[in-house]
């Protein structure tokens, strides 16, 4: 190749790289679509809208929330997995879509590890184990002893087969070697109602769903699933504190993008979301939802997803959990 040819090639390469760098630096230049794989109004939807609002304020581009429910979040997640990897289609995933579904659905259309680029771990929502006041157990170990003394005679409720409450309870049964019967409901609210009425004895669910009943004394909180006690329930010990080491069964939420999304775009999204999570306004919103902000790196969030997939697989098999 002649000298002029080499110069032209080098110039073309430089211009190409410069254009790519400019595109990444100026991102976003158009609206971003954030898919929520559930119906409006739930925790995933609320968190997506909160994060989307902060990104819009920071970048001057709208973040459009697209609710795509169905198959435990699998339909919406698959839609994002197959979207262009340009940073303009994101998924607000959670423990179900990113860690539970691979074991719950034998023919899942997407792979949570291979088909997504982790962007940001947004929040975790601790579960709290509550019982009806008639249950003769003031502490968690007393409840476990009662369950062992009456195998198959105590019931626990959940928002449905494959729900976070179902999995947390099955994990608890596996860790404590107890036989408590699952009663699935169509949603958390009717399960809470029946627990208050004494039709079931136990419920392991997100703290916001039962906080009012705990405060009023209608339900008795025995333990929380998080590594640390909740600020809103400082008197309630963790399951680990109660004698079951390393027990952790929180719900969690995070943003992912299609695999192949450039590292620069992922880093820019991660930085901005972490800044949003540090703001007093968003912290207040998260606290109202019983959520704890979890700002971290994309790599750390990706490692968390891998660990959670491995952790919930034996729970689903042991409890013979099936999707509704």
Provide block-wise average pLDDT over 10 residues at a time, the chain (324 residues).
Answer: 52 49 73 93 86 95 95 92 98 94 91 98 93 95 96 92 86 93 88 94 88 92 92 91 90 96 98 95 80 94 96 86 74
What pLDDT sits at residue 20? Answer: 44
Alpha-carbon 224 to chain mean position: 17
Tell me the C-alpha to C-alpha distance, in Å, between residue 2 and each of 7, 10, 49: 9, 12, 57
Question: Architecture of 30-125+250-318 per CATH?
Answer: 3-Layer(aba) Sandwich (3.40)
Report the CATH fold assignment for 127-224: D-Maltodextrin-Binding Protein; domain 2 (3.40.190)
What distance in Å separates the CA atoms of residue 171 and residue 186, rounded to the nearest whole number? Answer: 21
Tell me what pLDDT residue 284 has: 83
For the chain, where do the domains classified as CATH 3.40.190.150 start and end?
A: 30-125+250-318
Position 315 scores a pLDDT of 86
β-pairing, 32-36 vs 89-94, is parallel
In the chain, CATH 3.40.190.10 covers 127-224
Q: What is the pLDDT of residue 2?
A: 53
By the 10 Å C-beta count (0-12 exposed, 13-18 middle, 19+ buried), 138 is classed as exposed
């Amino acid at each position: 190749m002649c000298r002029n040819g080499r110069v032209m090639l080098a110039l073309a390469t430089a211009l190409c790289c410069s254009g790519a760098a400019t595109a990444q630096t100026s991102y976003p230049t158009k609206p971003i679509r954030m898919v929520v794989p559930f119906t409006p109004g739930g925790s995933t939807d609320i968190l997506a809208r909160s994060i989307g609002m902060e990104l819009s304020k920071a970048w001057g581009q709208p973040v459009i929330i697209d609710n795509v429910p169905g198959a435990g979040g699998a339909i919406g997640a698959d839609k994002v997995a197959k979207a262009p990897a340009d940073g303009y289609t994101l998924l607000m995933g959670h423990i179900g879509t990113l860690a539970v579904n691979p074991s719950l659905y034998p023919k899942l259309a997407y792979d949570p590890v291979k088909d997504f680029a982790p962007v940001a771990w947004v929040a975790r929502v601790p579960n709290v184990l509550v019982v009806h006041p008639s249950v003769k157990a003031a502490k968690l170990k007393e409840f476990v002893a009662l369950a062992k003394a009456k195998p198959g005679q105590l019931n626990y409720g959940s928002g449905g087969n494959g729900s976070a409450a179902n999995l947390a309870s099955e994990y608890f049964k596996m860790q404590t070697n107890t036989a408590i019967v699952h009663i699935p409901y169509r949603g958390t609210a009717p399960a809470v109602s029946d627990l208050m009425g004494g039709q079931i004895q136990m419920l392991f669910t997100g703290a916001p769903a039962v906080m009012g009943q705990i405060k009023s004394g209608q339900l008795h909180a025995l333990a929380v699933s998080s590594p640390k006690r909740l600020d809103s329930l400082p008197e309630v010990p963790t399951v680990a504190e109660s004698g079951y080491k390393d027990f952790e069964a929180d719900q969690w939420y995070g943003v992912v993008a299609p695999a192949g999304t450039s590292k620069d775009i992922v880093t820019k999204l991660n930085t901005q979301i972490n800044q949003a999570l540090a703001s007093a306004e968003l912290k207040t919103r998260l606290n109202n939802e019983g959520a704890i902000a979890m700002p971290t790196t994309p790599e750390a969030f990706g490692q968390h997803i891998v660990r959670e997939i491995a952790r919930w697989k034996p729970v689903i098999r042991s409890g013979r959990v099936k999707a509704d």
